[in-house]
Amino acid sequence: MTDSAAPPASTAPRALAEEAHRRIISMIFEGVMKSGDLLQEAALGERFRMSRTPVREAIKRLESEGLAVVEGRFTRVRSVTPADVEEIFFLRLELEPLAARSAVRLPPAQIDAMEAKVRHLMASDPTVNDLHRQTDYEFHALLGREFGNSAVAQTVAALHRRTCIFDHTQVPERFLAGCQEHLDILDAARSGNADAVEARLRTHLEHARDAVLNRLRRAGAA
């Protein structure tokens, strides 16, 4: 059976891949696709009324995010469990707040530029997922830039990729709240208060973790 809400034929290829990615994630969280199920380009393309190319791109992205695993010639669903989320955020909470203390050394122009990006995001169309994802990535990368530890930066980036699947399409209540928390963290960095940067980022990550866990629990209950 195909989905009734098919994207228009004129939709750009990148947007189609984004749509396929969003739908597959929703199917996983809602239990339509379970751990071990095959991710088949042709079947999913027919379901979504799109070609195999954007579906293939979406599946590749799921692999990088830890939601799909390649076994021989097949790609299968790897569901995210509450335990997975707890482990990922445990590491983020250990590394990011510590590294972010160095954000007080950022040039004011960089802090101002990031604030402008966050405010632009808040005023934008919330369905533009690429803008949300890129702004969020740049924000978290900026906070640890002055820490100067490439191993920490690479680990944080990898963990961020695994949690960015829970964007505002999955936890919409976090969109504006998360943006405001970003602004509060930037204010602390601008004022030179490293303790406030660390504390506010820690709270931000805890709120994100709790929203994700609640999303998984709602999906499990449904």
Total number of domains in the chain: 2
The pLDDT-based confidence of 133 (bands split at 50, 70, 90) is confident
* Cα separation values, 98 from 7, 66, 199, Å: 43, 25, 10
Average pLDDT, whole number, for the chain?
Answer: 87
Q: Are 118 and 187 in contact (CB under 8 A)?
A: no
Same domain assignment for residues 140 and 188 = yes
Domain boundary residue, one of 39, 60, 77: 77
Task: Establish if 184 belongs to a structural domain.
Answer: yes
Query: For the whole model, what pTM was predicted?
Result: 0.74
pLDDT at 39 over 90: yes
Task: Establish if 3 belongs to a structural domain.
Answer: no
Same domain assignment for residues 108 and 179 = yes
How many C-alpha atoms does 68 have within 13 Å on its Cβ side?
24
Same domain assignment for residues 66 and 107 = no
Burial class of residue 123 in the structure, from the number of CB atoms within 10 Å of its CB (0-12 exposed, 13-18 middle, 19+ buried)? exposed
Task: Establish if 23 belongs to a structural domain.
Answer: yes
Same domain assignment for residues 111 and 49 = no
Q: What is the DSSP secondary structure assignment for residue 182, as one 8-state letter?
A: H
Domain boundary residue, one of 77, 97, 126: 77
Domain ranges, residue 54: 13-77
The pLDDT value given to residue 200: 98
Task: Establish if 8 belongs to a structural domain.
Answer: no
CATH number at residue 28: 1.10.10.10
The pLDDT value given to residue 129: 65
- More confident site: 167 or 142: 142
pLDDT at 161 over 60: yes
Summarised one tens digit per residue, pLDDT across range 187-215 is: 999 999 999 999 999 999 999 999 989 98
Find the mean pLDDT for residues 125-139.
80
d(CA 22, CA 117): 24
Task: Establish if 2 belongs to a structural domain.
Answer: no
Q: H helices of the chain, where?
A: 13-29, 41-48, 52-64, 82-100, 108-122, 129-143, 150-163, 175-191, 194-221
Collapsing DSSP to helix, strand or coil, 75 comes out as strand
Tokens in use for 132? 């949300």
Lowest model confidence (mean pLDDT) among 19-28, 108-117, 149-158: 19-28
Q: What is the DSSP secondary structure assignment for residue 33, as one 8-state letter?
A: S
Tokens in use for 166? 């829970």
Same domain assignment for residues 69 and 165 = no
The pLDDT value given to residue 18: 87
